[in-house]
Structure 1
Amino acid sequence: MLGPLREDSPRRIGPYAIRARLGAGGMGEVFLGDRGDGSGPAAVKTVRRDVAGDPGFRDRFRREITVARSVTGPRLASLLDGDADAEVPWLATEYVAGPTLSAAVRGAGAMDEAEVRMLGAGLARALAAVHAAGIVHRDVKPGNVMLAADGPRLIDFGIARDAGSTPLTTTSRMVGSPAFMSPEHVAGSGRVVAASDVFCLASVLCFAATGRDPFGDGPVAAVLYRVKYVEADLEEVPEGLRAVLEDCLSADPAARPTAAELAGRLTPGAAAEWPAPVGGQIAEYGRELARVSALDGPLLPGYTPTEAATGSRAAPHQLPTRGTDFAPGLHVAPTQGPGLGEPPRSRRRRNLVAALVALALLGAATGGLLALRGGDEGGDGDPEKPAAVLAGIDAQGGREGSGTVPYGRDVRPAGWHPWRSRMTGHPFGCAAGRDVLVCRNTAGSYEALSPSDGKKLWDYSARLDADEAGARISPTGQVFMPSGSTRPAVYGDQVLLASGDRLVSLDSRTGKVRWEVRAGSAHGFESAPLVADGLVFAAVGPTPQGARIAGFDLATGKEKWRRRLVGEDLAKAEEYDFWPLATRDKMLYLLGEGGLRALRTEDGAELGRATGEQTSQCHDALVRAPHVYCAAYTYSTEGEHMAVQRLGTPSLESAGEIPLPDELTDGAGLVAVDDHVVVLVRGARPWEEDDIDPEIVLARRDDGAALARYPLDRRSFSSRINAVSSPMIVADTLVWADSTSLYSVALHNGSKPGPLRTTVLKGAPGPELRKDYDTLQWGLLMSDEVLPPEVLPVGGAVYVIHHGGRVFSVPLPGASAS
C-alpha cells in the first residue's frame, strides 16, 4: 500500500516526481513516481550507496537494464527507465496497483482451479516472453507475482536480482521458505535454465491452489532435500491441475513443458476474473492510487492517502524539494531475490535464541575476543593466574567462539560494584570488556555504559537512514539491519564495528572515532568483526555475493591482506554469513564457498578446509584445542540428524564425532564446549512457539553421556513468554538468565554438576506478552518480539542485558548464592 514520504525522502529521481513511498527492498527504497507526461505511475527503485559502491555492481546493473529493455509482454511489469551512472542508481518499472500473490492468498485464501488456471496461463505467457529474450528469471515466487485488475504481472525479471539479499542468521527452520527453488537452484545457480523457471512456477501454482508451500517447511536443508529429489506434496491440489503440475515438477529439466506449452495447457477452463475477495483487495489499491494521484504534490509525513485527499487534517507545511542525494538503508520490498535459505542449523551467536537455537545458526559468530593482559595475544593466557581483561567478550564467549570465558571469578573491571541501569532503545547484540559495555540496538546505532557502575559513556550512529521499522526479517525471509550495522567487538581500549559501509575503531571510553575504512555491511544479525594477532578481520562488500575477507591493522586500520571467499553467482542454498567465526593459534576460522575454512591470520593463506561428507555440513566453529567443534546437520527421508563433529586444526579433517544420543540432539543447537563438557539447547526460535519441550542439555565431551538436563518454560503466544538467554561457561560454572533471574551450575570439571542456583534480579522485566503488530507489512520486527536477554560474564562480573533495555551487573554466583 502507498505510504507517506519521510522528511529525508527524495522529491525527484531522474525524470520522476516522487508522489509516495511504496516500501523498500534489499537494494534500497521504492517510491511511486510520475513523469507528468501522461505515461502513468511507475515504481521507482533506488540502490543503496554501499551496494552502488561495490566495484562491479554498476557494470552488472547497466548490463541488466540493457537486457531488460528488450523484454516486453502483457503480463510483465516492464522496465520503463533507469540510470546506472547516477550518484544513486535507480530504475523505474510499471507500477501494478494490486497485492502480491502472497498477500492475496494470506488475505483471501487459496484459489479455485479456474482461478489458478487464469493465474498460471498469464504467468506462463510472461515467462515465455522472458525466455524468448534469452533471459532466465531465476526468482519466480509468490512475492514476485502482482495481481492487477486485468490479470497477473510477473516482476523483477533479472533486474539487480539479489542485490540486497542477506542470510538468515537463524536455526535451520526457515522464516521464509526455499520451496520455490528448483533442483537446479539447489545444485548451483550456474545450472539454472529456462526449465527451472517452469518448475518454480508450478510450485507457485501449488501455493495458490492450496495456500501452502509445496515442499513443506521445517529445517531448510530438509526442504532443499525435498526440492532436490522433487518430493512435492500435491495431495490438496485440485485433480484437474495435478497432471500438468506434475509434468512441470519433473526432476529432468528436459522433460518439463516449455512456458508457452504450459500456457496452452492451462488456458482451457481458466476463469475470466479474480474471485471477489481478491478483486476487493485490488480495488482498494486502485482507490488509494487515485487519491494520491489527485493530490497537488506528494503524500507527506503523518498522512494516509485518504486523509490527504479529503483534507481531513490540517495541511502540513510543504517540505523542500530534494534531489537524489540520499542513502536508504536495509529494508524490505518485492524488489529483491528470494529469502536466503538457511543453512543447516549451526550455532552462531547465541543471544537471539533462547540459546540461540534461535536466530543464530548460520555460520557462527564473531565478535567477542578474550585475551589476558600479559599473556600472548594470539593465545589464551593462563586461566589459573589472576589476570585483567584485555579484550571483551560477547554472547559467544571468547575469541575461540566456544561459549567459554577463559578466566576466573577474581577478574573484574576496576572499581566494579553491583549495579542496575537502562539503555535507550532495544539492545540487539552486545560486547563487554575492561572499559566498556556496548550494545547495538534494533535501530542500527550503538550505546555504551561503564562496566564498573553502569553510567552512560557515549552513543554512536552512522545515521544512514531513518528506518522506522528497524531490524527485522521480511515476509520473504530476508534479514535487514539498519545501516548494515554489525555487532560490536571490544579489544583493550577500542570498540570495533561496521556500520554505514565503514569499519570503525572507536575509543572505548569516549566513543570518538580513531580510524575508519571502507569495508562491508552486516550479512545478517550475527555479523561482527573479530580481532587477533594485531589485526581486525571483517568482510568486505555489501552482500554475500562475491564476499571477501580482509585483515586490517588494529592500530591504524590499514588493510594488510584480502581474500575472496565465494564467487559472484552463488546458489541460494550456499549463501551464508561470511563474517569471521573464531580464532586461535594464529588461525582464523570462517565460512567460504563449500564450507568451513581455516586461514592464517598473518596473510590469509588457506591452511585447511572441511571437505568430508559430514564435516562439509558444518557452518559454525567452536574452537577448543586441539579441535574445532561444530554441529553438522544431515537430512534424509527418515528425517534430520545432528552430530557434533570434531575437526583437526588447522587441517579441519574429521577427527570423529561426539556420540550424543538422538534424544539430546533433536531440535538442538551446539552453544558451548570446554575441556570436559558440551552444552546444547533444544527449543524454537524466539518468534516461534515451541513444538518440543525446550531444555538446556549438559553432556560429557568425551563420550556424550548426559550429565544434566534443565527444563525451560515452553514458549506460547497465548501466554506470557519467559525468554531465556544462551548459556555460557565461566570459571567452571554454567550461567544463563531469563526474564527474572540469573541461573548458575558448578560444573566440577565434567563430574556430577552441582545444584541449580538462582540469583533473583530485582527490577527485571519478568515474562511478557508478545506484541500484536502487522507482520504482513514488515515481517518480524525485532523491536516488537520478546527476545532473550544476553548474558556476558566478564570473569567475576556478570552483565545481563534485557531486550527492553534494562541492564544488571551482579557478581558471578558462588556456593552461597540462592
Structure 2
Amino acid sequence: MSLRGGDPEEIGGYPLEERLGSGGMGTVFLARTSSGRPVAIKLIHQHFAGDDEFRIRFRQEVAAARRVSGAFTAAVVDAAPEADQPWMATTYIEGPTLAQRIGDRGPLDGAELRRLAIGLAEALRDIHRVGVVHRDLKPSNVVLSPEGPRVIDFGISRAADQETLTMTGRVIGTPPFMSPEQLRAPRGVGPRSDVFSLGTLLVYAATGSGPFDSDSPYMTAYQVVHEEPSLDAVPPALRAVVEPCLDKEPEGRPSADELLVLLRDLPADLGGPVPASGGPAAGRTRDMITQHHQATPSPAAPAVPETSPEPSEAAPAPDPAVAVPAVPATPAPSGTGSTPAPVGGRLRRRWRPVLAAAVAVTAIAGGVAALNVSGGGPDGGGDTAPTAPGGTLPSGFEPWRTTVLGGREDIPDELRCVTHDDDALFCGGGGVIATRLNAEDGSPVWTAKSPGVPAQGMHLVGATDDTVVGYRIADQDDPQGPPNEVVALDADSGKELWATPSGAQSTAVTGRTRDAVVAGSAVVTVDASNSRFEARDAHSGEVAWTAPFPDGTQCAPVPEGPRLLAMCATDAEVDDLGPGRSTLRTIALDSGEFGGAIGIEGPAEPVGEADGSLVLLSPHYEGTARVGYDRVVRVDPASGEVASSRFDKVYAGTPGMADGTLYVSGQTGLVTAFDPVSGRKKWVRQTGVEGASGPAAGEGAVYFSSATGRVAALSPADGTSLWATDPQADGLTGQEGASPRVVVAGRAVFVAAADNTLFAFDARNPPKSG
C-alpha cells in the first residue's frame, strides 16, 4: 500500500517505501537501510506519545524484543522509544502468519504440523532462556517464513523478574490463547503461561479452532479458567503432548525444554483433524472465536513485517469462488436500517459469571498489512468509495469524535445510538442511561448517568418524538432499589419523566438482551417479576395496559415492522437451559390482548423483518456448545404460517437484517449475505473488521463495525468493498452477538466504539488511516 498524504518520508534516517498497515496504537511502514536491507518500522501514533504509561509499555516491548532476537524470533534493527513520536525497526520477514495460512488453506497436518510444533517450541525455549515471557502467543504473532516459524510482537511481554504493567486496570491478551493465570492473576504470569498458549495454538493449527472456543469472548475466558479443553479433533499423537500443556495449574505443565523433547519424539506423519461423530470436523468453520486475522498475501502483496500493527488490521484475501453475484439491492432509507442482533446464547449457561471488562485486547498486538480484497478501495484505508453514497449531511456537519462519561468512569463500556430529525443523536448504554449530542459536531446537550456496573448488551431502548428511553443499572452499594430500571427522559432537557423496574429474562427466551421496546408512542416492558408485559405512554408514563404471560411461560417483546410480538418459552426450558420449542403471539398495541400461539420447533433467535414476516435463525449445537446457525425460519404473524430453509453449512458469527437481506458477520471479518426467504447465499466477502456487529444500511452501502471503531462499507448488491477505516479505540475484537454500532443518517455515519467513544464522518470522505 503506497504512502499517503501526511505520512513521513523517513523515520530515524530510514527512507519509507510504503505503508504496511495501521492499528489503534501505531502504523507500520516498509523502509530500507542504507545498504538496501528491508526493515519494518512501527511508528506510534502521536496522541500516545504523551502517555507515560504507554511509553513504559513500549520501552518494555523494545527491550524484550532486543533480548530475544534470534533464529526463531524478531531482530531489532533500531529503535527510539524516547523520541517525540516513538518508533522501532525490525527485520522484515517474508511469509504469511499462521492465521493467514489456516484461513486460506485450512488446518495443518502431517509433517507440516510437526515442523510447526517443534519450531514454536524452539522459539519459546529461546525466549524463556533470556528471561522473557511473551504473554501474547497467538496465530497472528507467528510468521511462517521459509526458514521456519518466527514468533513476533513482544508488545505485552515482560522479563520474568519484572512486575506486570497493568494498563488502566485491564488484563491484556487474547482470550482464546490466554492462560488461566493471565485471567485470574496477571501479576503471577510466568514462562509456563506461554506453554499453555502454545498448547492452544497447536490445537488451532491442527483443527482450525481453539480448545476453548465459544460464541462469546467472555465465555471463552470462563472456559479457559474453569472447563476442560475440547481436543477430540486433535490427532492422537499430538493430543498426548498438548493435553499436559493445557493443565489449569502452571506446575502441571511441561517447560519449553521438556515440551521440545516430547515433540521431537512424535512420528513424522501426525495425520489431520479427527472428524467428529455425526457432524463436521471439530474444526467447524473458519469463523471461530480467534481474535486475529486470516489473510493470505498475493504475489503483489507485501510480506509480513516482524513488527506488526493492530490485531484487527489484516484484511484476508477472498476466495474468488465464494463471491456470488446478487440482484442489486434497493437503496436503504436513512436511519439505522437494522434490527439489533442477538446477544449471547439462548438458554445457555445463563448462570455463569461473566469475566467483566477484565478481558481486553492490547492495541499494540500483532497484525499485518491490509490487503485489497474485493476490487474497491484497499480495505484498511480511507480511500474514496468507487460508488459514492447518496443523501445529505446535517447542516454544518464536520467530522467529530468524543467520549461520553458515564456513572462508572472506572468501567467504560459501549454505547448504542439513534438519530432524530437529522440534528440530534441519542445514545445510551453502560454507565449512561441516555445522552443527547448535536449531530453536526458531537457537542453534548445533556447526559443522564447510570450508577451501576455496565451489563453486557444493555443499551438504549429507543426514542420517540419527545422522549428517550434507556436502562438504569443500580449501584451495587444500594441494594434497596431495583437492579434494573427502564427510564424515560425528556428529549429536549434530559429531565427524568418516569422509571419502572425491569425484568431480566429476555436473553433466556430470545437470545438477546432486550426487556423493553418502543412501539409507536408506547414503551412496552417486562415487569420486575418476569410475569407480564406493561405498556406505558412514552412521555407521561401512564400505564395503558398490562398483559400477564401465558401460564408456565417466560416471554420477551419482539418488534416486527408495525407489529409487536411476544416470544415465549416454558419455565422448564428456561430453567433447564436447553434448546426447545418456542411460541410467538401477536400483541394488540391498544389493549395488550394476545393472539393465538404460533409454534416454532427447536431454538430460534429473532433477527429482523422481511416482507411482513419475522426472520429468525436457528442455532446449531455440537454437544452443549453453540457453534453457529444452520437454518433460517420465517413466521408470518398474520397467517400463522411458519417456513424454514436450511443453510448449506453452519455459519458462525453475528446475524442481522438490513433492507431485506440477512447477514452473518464472522469473528474474523467474513461477511455472508443471504436471501432470508430461500436461505440462499448471495455473496461472501472478507473484511478486516474482526468481531463486526452490523449491519447498518445507508444509501448504496451496508456498514459493519467492531468495538475498535473500525468500519467497513460494502456494496449490498455483491459485497464489493467500498472502503474501510482504521481502528479508533482500544477494544475487544473477535466478539459475537453485539448489536449494530453504526447509525446512518443520509451521508453522515455515526459510530460507537469501546470506552464510550463516539465518532462521526461523511460516508463520501471516511477517515484516513494513521
* TM-score, structure 1 normalization: 0.46
* TM-score, structure 2 normalization: 0.48
Q: Which has the higher contact order (CA 8 A, sep 6+)?
A: 2
